[in-house]
Chains A and B, each alone.
Chain A
Amino acid sequence: MTAVPFSLRRVWLIACVTALEAARQRVFHLVLVLAMGLVLGAHAFREFNFGASELKFMADFGFGALTVFGSVLTIVATAQLFFGELEHRTALTLLAKPVWRAEFILGKIGGVMAVVTVFCALVTLLLLGTLYFRQQTLLAEHPELSESARALDPMAIIAVGVAHWLKFGVLAALTLLIASFARTSLYAVIVGFVMLLICHLHPLARLASARTDSWLLRGVAGMVSLIFPDFQLFDLSASIDSVGAAGAASLIRLVAYAGLYFSVLGSLAVYSFNRREL
């Protein structure tokens, strides 16, 4: 028997099946509909009469919806799709074929990312459309409106959407790593949300280590900022007027940061899953 090399084709096959499974689940539709509903609902802010900053409010609200539902979707889908295989023992049949465990893990994360990508793209594009439409009406009603109302930079909106997507990628890899340890999907989901919170705590950790004299607190803060990825970095403000050349450079850095974390977390998940009992 000849050796079986690692195969991207099998990763692709597993990713397709995973994505298909996710896309046929009700939860996914529900989350998508809710997020898109909120984006459209941001129109209600018209009533507040914010004037020039109205578009910013709408954008922030839309991205708030993307953050909430995107995080839920990423964590739940990753845990569900992974444990679905283990609990329903489909992984047994799958891994009894000449399939590397690394292929299985990468296929899983690929499938989850396909779904998350579709989600981010749909919500961001809908938001962009809504904003554009509202801007046109605003300009038609008040042709004399100030610069800030005119300046709707689609690239900035897309950049923020991409930053969210990057964050969800790291989150998916992190959840998969947790799942490779966990015994049940509920446990993985709960720990996933706790990790999500901790990954947002970096500023607090920095504040604590700068201000406290306590050894213990400093140690904990140092550990947090060393071990966990910093999700606040992905929190680009949707401020429509502040993405320029510096923004592009930041975005490239952010892509590198997310990409490296994704690879490391993914590799650790593969390592941890490699010797897991099925």
Chain B
Amino acid sequence: MNFRGARWLVVITGLGLTGALLRWLSAPLLLHRPAADRPDVRAETFAGAMGQGIALGIFGGFRPLVADFLWLQVQDRWEARDLGGTLGHLRLTTAVDPQPLAFWLNGARIIAYDMTEWRLAGLTRGDAMSESVGKRIEAEQARMALAWLREAERFHPGTPVLQIERANVQLNRLHDVAAAAASYRSAAELTDAPYYAARLHAELLRRLGRKAEAYAWLRKIHPKLPPNDAAAAAGLVLARLRGLEADLAIPPRQRYRAD
């Protein structure tokens, strides 16, 4: 074979071998890739996006920018109170770029709160204002928001703000205090969790009447709170402890001693 032919062969073979060898490097990176890259996740959405000419942007390496402009569409639909449009664009945005948490968090809030309101406002006066219909709509939207947040957690496992958001929906919309308490707790156990998650967990336990549990939880977390951080509110937690000790009639010798 002449050199020209041999050269092509060497180059193609070299690149092929490199590609095969580098799989072990790129495979873990791929796991963190946006859904749009992964045929196993929501390929349909991706195909939809392609139809809208978004593909070029994505393939050119402008994924975040494409997602931003889709998010603009979300806001536009949101202002028009267009439920279907808002939801569709929300899905598209997160399919194109699931990395920004803000998309997921704002999306959850829109689904749980704004959309409920739009649907309630859309009901005809007379029969609709009945309590049960309102409750049903509220619950439907809340469950949709929870599903949305579960999807978010596939891309951002172990992210406290997502779990707190879940707890908020469970508490405010489903009125499921026990579930919310559990969610706050799992959030609080993550590193980088805000301090208030732990406090809210105890507070909800107290509301549920599980005061001993709440007391044990607070005793466990208080020593870890930095005394000088206002957000940690160590003083407040201590006051709660004292209140619970009084409620539970803990003998003085067994009381919590902060030092």
Contact surface of B with A, Cβ cutoff 8 Å: 3, 7, 10-12, 14-16, 18-22, 25-26, 28-30, 32-34, 36-40, 43, 46, 55, 58-65, 67-68, 71-72, 97, 99-102, 156
Contacts of B101 in A (CB 8 A): 148, 239, 241-242
B30 near A181 with CB under 8 A, answer no
Taking each of A167, A202, A267, which has the highest tally of chain B beta carbons within 10 Å of its own beta carbon?
A202
For A, the interface residue count at a CB cutoff of 8 angstroms equals 58
Given contacts A233-B26, A233-B30, A242 and B61 within 8 Å (CB-CB)? no
B25: which of A68, A207, A260, A268 is its contact (CB, 8 Å)?
A: A260
A264 near B14 with CB under 8 A, answer yes
Given contacts A241-B100, A257-B25, A60 and B64 within 8 Å (CB-CB)? yes
Contacts of A67 in B (CB 8 A): 60-62
Contacts of B34 in A (CB 8 A): 237
Given contacts A177-B11, A203-B38, A210-B39, A56 and B28 within 8 Å (CB-CB)? no
A261 near B18 with CB under 8 A, answer yes
A53: which of B28, B63, B65, B102 is its contact (CB, 8 Å)?
A: B102
Contact surface of A with B, Cβ cutoff 8 Å: 48, 52-53, 56-57, 59-61, 63-64, 67-68, 71, 148, 167, 177, 181, 197, 200-204, 206-207, 210-211, 225-235, 237-239, 241-242, 246, 250, 253-254, 256-257, 260-261, 264-265, 267-268, 271-272, 275
Residue of A nearest to B159 (CB): A242
Contacts of A253 in B (CB 8 A): 25, 28-29
Tell me the interface secondary structure of chain B in the complex: helix
Residue of B nearest to A160 (CB): B64
B16 near A235 with CB under 8 A, answer no
B102: which of A59, A148, A272, A275 is its contact (CB, 8 Å)?
A: A148
7 residue pairs, one from A and one from B, having the closest CB atoms: A239-B100, A210-B39, A237-B99, A203-B37, A60-B64, A226-B19, A64-B65
A30 vs B60: C-alpha distance when bound (angstroms):
21
Residue of A nearest to B156 (CB): A242
B29 near A254 with CB under 8 A, answer yes
Given contacts A233-B30, A238-B64, A268-B14, A210 and B102 within 8 Å (CB-CB)? no
